[in-house]
Amino acid sequence: MTNWDTNEEIQIFREYLRIPSVHPDIDYEPCVEFLKRQAKSLDLPVSIHYPVNDKNPIVILTWVGEQPNLPSIVLNSHMDVVPVFEEHWTHKPFDADIDEDGKIFARGAQDMKCVGVQYLAAIRALKRDGVKQLKRTIHVIFVPDEEVGGYFGMAKFVTTDEFKALNVGFSLDEGIASPTEEFNLYYAERTIWQIEFICHGQSGHGSMLFKNTPGEKIHYLVDKLMSFRKVEAAKLENNANVDLGDVTTVNMTLLKGGVQGNVVPPVLSVVFDIRIANDIKLDEFEKTINRWCEEAGGNIELNYIHKNPQAPVTAIDDSNPYWLAFKKAIDELNLKMKTKVFPGGTDSRYIRRQNIPALGFSPMNNVPVLLHDHDEYVRCETYLAGIQIYKKIIPNLANV
């Protein structure tokens, strides 16, 4: 059994995992303090920005390049983690225990405190190897609030002058662990729309057969959306090359309305969470939604809880030198990798909307996908191997 207690990188990782930066009402100060110490030990300047308020810091460690006027490389990660149901954990979620198999258990072990400190570990390893500087400047960015939409973090930060001053040419952020040998690389995300359909209509006694009742309208809409869902589900099931990120997902998430069993209510509403595939034209899709509302009988209010614009897809071909540099590192390390569209949302969408190419990658393979799950863990070997992967990727990117 390896004694991991003597491994410097494992100890730094565990220290970060032990900070309970868990939603809601996160105190990020211990993260800031931890990262300031990391910056000092790496001899990197650190800056802290508060784009929204003084509770939501953005911490940037900078490794200035030989040609600091060239567009820079961002290595992004979020500091926040999702809540835990402690009774379902076999280890305390903020103790970062290591079991006899070398698994580190903690919330954030996969999503994504691992990645944040692996970036730093790779820089430490490069510096120890005598690398004083790379060509481009690297900004290692730690953001708050990603798990609840990034509105107090990256969403706002990309609109600030401080961000523009970073002159970002490319960004790397999180991916998802892979249960197989093959690593996942994410070059795009679907577009998130959440729509509440508020159906107004004829109300009255439950014994009647009125026309234009809210129930009939909801029925029509649910039928249309669920039929669409079936088509998309079939695409996924019938083609092994189609991934979740390649199809549009449609899910009913909230149903509201009614007063009592014998009263037809004047209003009923339903919410759908829709993640729109990148081959769908949003204006066409919106027209279809509006048409369905008319066909359902009209007088349906649409409340868009989320109506994201489509973010550009990052090119994974010869036109993108950062992709080529990334791919070269993966090939040189002889790793297997699959390119995919991210099924959920990450901060990369805010970067891509600024027309900056961004890739999502978490160097974890042969591990169950445990993000947001109980007993989230990563193996020490996997963590350390990931540092070696970044040690190859980071100089490749920075020397483009």
Q: Facing residues of 304 across strands? A: 195
Encoded one letter per residue, x for contact with Zn ion by CB under 5 A and - for no contact, window 162-201 reads ------------x---------------------------
Before 368, cis peptide (omega within 30)?
no
Contact with Zn ion (CB under 5 A): which of 32, 51, 81, 111? Answer: 111
Give me the least distance between CB of 383 and Zn ion, in Å please: 16
Number of residues located near Zn ion, criterion CB under 5 A: 3
Give me the least distance between CB of 191 and Zn ion, in Å please: 19
Classify 59 in phi/psi space as left (phi over 0), alpha (psi -120 to 50) or beta: beta
What residues numbered 247-306 form the site for Zn ion, per CB under 5 A? none
Considering beta carbons, is residue 186 or 326 the nearer one to Zn ion?
186
Q: How far apart are CA 65 and CA 79, in angstroms?
A: 25
Q: Write down the catalytic residue from 9, 111, 145, 146.
A: 146
**CB of 119 closer than 8 Å to CB of 38:** no
Give me the least distance between CB of 146 and Zn ion, in Å please: 6
Give me the least distance between CB of 113 and Zn ion, in Å please: 9
Q: Write down the catalytic residue from 80, 174, 189, 347.
A: 80
* Catalytic residue status for 146: yes
Considering beta carbons, is residue 116 or 201 the nearer one to Zn ion?
116
Considering beta carbons, is residue 174 or 246 the nearer one to Zn ion?
174
Does residue number 112 form part of the binding site for Zn ion (CB under 5 A)?
yes
**CB of 122 closer than 8 Å to CB of 63:** no
Considering beta carbons, is residue 267 or 369 the nearer one to Zn ion?
369
Q: How far apart are CA 194 and CA 250, in angstroms?
A: 10
Half-sphere exposure of residue 233, counting CA atoms within 13 Å on the CB side? 8
Q: How far apart are CA 371 and CA 18, in angstroms?
A: 17
Q: How far apart are CA 390 and CA 369, in angstroms?
A: 20
- What residues are annotated to the active site? 80, 146
Contact residues toward Zn ion (CB under 5 A) are: 111-112, 174
